[in-house]
Chains A and B, each alone.
Chain A
Amino acid sequence: MPLRSAPLPRMAGHLSFMRAQTKAICDVRPGDLAVLGIPFEDTSAPYAGQSLAPRALRETSVYFGWHANPQFSHPVDIDARQDIQTDGLHERLCDLGDISPGPEDAIHAALKLATNQISRNGACAVILGGSDRLSATVQSALSNCQTAQLGGTPRDAHDFHIAPLPNGCASTGKSDTAAQLTKLSQWRDASKPLFVRFDLSVFETSLSALCDRPRLGGCDLATVAQWLSALGQHEVSAIMLTGLNPNRPGMGVVKVGQRLMVTAFLAFIYARLGFGIDHPGRQTSEENIPT
């Protein structure tokens, strides 16, 4: 069910993640993906601008708001030649808005409360951050959770570090991905909440351009999308997007970082909601020719 009956110019209208419906947090239902922004400026970061990340991610995500635009039929992954039915996306993806700016303690408290409530409702919190300092707060909201980490700074040996580790450290990302996926399944304890940290630094730095902490030897888009798709098969309680700084000096007009991040993140959304997986009644593109 599209949001509108007429096409909407990309930069017009109310801005929500992928043109999702907006909801109050109390209305979040089990199985929802609930998007929450944290425009938080980490004053210890090398460059100012992380607080602009949630808006930048939302702006880029509108490009992929297929379900909300009646002029499109349905997306097809051109590489896999696989149709992706997004009919249910509008019902299950929602945008709760941003946590209000304020004193840092208040932001931490609000984030913890929101994450906890979304989790208790049986939904997955999609937290659009800039600074990964707040990821500890999300972890504290999910008691006894397991953390899988793509990029960013490793904190705990018990976490599942996918790739890559900081410059100079050994990388787990270069080993065989299939073997790593098996390790993930073995590591995962389904009785505990799962938290995914997705930092822009997981990508090879020459691809991302807007990363606050660039990493050499990072992953390409296909590898990251593969990991996010695999993680999307699990019951994830929260996923946090960090590391994007749309205000890197001289690079403010280049939208490469947010586009890269949202493109990869689509794999998680589609996997989490069960799209892109063969199911009875799935139409092929051949059957969708507009008349």
Chain B
Amino acid sequence: MTAAITTFHPPLSQPGFRLFDGPLRDVADTSADQIGVVGMPSDWTHSSRLGTRFGPDALRRATTLLQSMRPQGASFDPDTGRRTVPAIDWLVDCGDAEVTAQDVDATTQAIAAMTEGLTVAGAIPLALGGDHYNSFPACLGYSRGLTKRSPDARFGYIQIDGHLDFSDRLGAWGTHNHATNARRISELPNIDVSNMVWVGIAGWVDGGDLALIEKQGGRIFSASDVHKMGAAEVMRQALAHAMQGCDELYLSIDIDAMDAGYLPGTGSIVHSGITPRQYYDLLDGLAEAPLAGLDIVEVSPPLDPSERTEFLAAEMLFRILRRFRTRPVTGL
């Protein structure tokens, strides 16, 4: 007679979506061996097609609908032959950074403060964009945190992207926008351009930016290279190049490296980009990488009425996260 009452289990969790249904946790309460999620709902620094401010929410929603890591129980991953473990305590969602529209500096510092806190605690910051500029503040905080945690450590950088984002400035948007994030990251104290690698670049790029990267030892793999060499080989070479003399890796995932025919919901689409399968294979190639920070950016739900973009991006996240806390299948 009282069955209805006993199904009520207070306290309820906070309403709203969290990445892979992981628990909400303050940055100050995170610890080593955890991944801390930071939302960056900002698209003021994109130069044309907006909408990525809705990206973090869309990613959180889409990941809760993936069966792979649902809290109801582990699932078997046929690709790896392992069971995945739900995001109970190892993947914590720290909410969104405070975004101040039209104030790039304030937004930059707010995001950086969160990723710095996570890095100092030994956790891995996972930042959800937002346009690609926000990759810079996310990496800035990681860089600051790394300096505090290991003053002499250096990090390598891999950017999967359809574009170089290495301009020094972009028209009216100045020096801090979605076309300059990689350039600003290259200026951080504990990274060298020779440890920066771009994967998936498509179409025409600016000759000056390209020359500057290659002159300083950076490496670029085009989408055509991925088609010709295979995703696994490209990522093997990319990782080897990025990690020369480095201790950790920062990964920036711009979803627009994927061909627009598959993935239209992003601000700067490219054609002849890489396929979903190739993108996933690239991410699988990082299974053994010393990943210490990452972001995924440019998910723009308003630009894709079919909503497939956010699910493709959610699958990308699963690919990169599934190696954490997995265990061999012991029998089903």
Contacts and interface: CB of A to CB of B under 8 A. Distances in A.
Nearest to B164: A78
B111 to A, nearest CB: 24
A157 interface: no
A253 B303 contact: yes
Given A9-B171, A72-B206, A209-B264, A78 B269 contact: no
A167 interface: no
A260 B209 CA distance: 24
Nearest to B306: A250
Nearest to B204: A75
Contact of B171 (A7, A66, A206, A288): A7
B305 A221 contact: no
A242 interface: no
Contacts of B264: 209, 254-256
A288 B271 CA distance: 26
Interface string A167-178: 000000000000
A78 B203 contact: yes
A26 interface: no
B261 interface: yes
Contact of A75 (B48, B169, B205): B205
Contacts of B209: 73
Contacts of A222: 272
A260 B260 contact: yes
Given A250-B305, A254-B304, A256-B260, A288 B214 contact: no
B119 interface: no
Interface in A63-86: 63-64, 66, 69, 71-79, 83-84
Nearest to B272: A221
Contact of B302 (A206, A207, A253): A253
B47 A71 contact: no
Interface in A1-49: 7-12
B54 to A, nearest CB: 13
B305 A253 contact: yes
Interface residues of B, number: 41
B207 A285 contact: yes
Interface in B31-78: 47-49
B220 A78 contact: yes
B222 A206 contact: no
Interface string A191-229: 000000000000010111100000000001110000000
A222 B202 CA distance: 11
A102 interface: no
Contacts of B265: 254
Contacts of B169: 71
Nearest to A64: B204
Contact of B207 (A8, A220, A221, A288): A288
Given A79-B222, A250-B305, A72 B208 contact: yes
Most buried by B among A208, A260, A266, A285: A285
A256 B261 contact: yes
B121 interface: no
A8 B171 CA distance: 6
A286 B214 contact: yes
A136 interface: no
Given A260-B260, A286-B214, A255 B208 contact: no
Interface of A: 7-12, 63-64, 66, 69, 71-79, 83-84, 204, 206-209, 220-222, 250-251, 253-256, 259-260, 263, 266, 285-290
22 contacts: A7-B172, A9-B47, A66-B204, A69-B171, A71-B170, A72-B208, A73-B208, A74-B207, A76-B205, A78-B201, A78-B220, A78-B224, A207-B259, A222-B272, A251-B305, A253-B302, A254-B265, A256-B269, A285-B211, A285-B214, A289-B211, A290-B208
Interface of B: 47-49, 167-173, 201-212, 214-215, 220, 222-224, 259-261, 264-265, 269, 271-272, 302-306
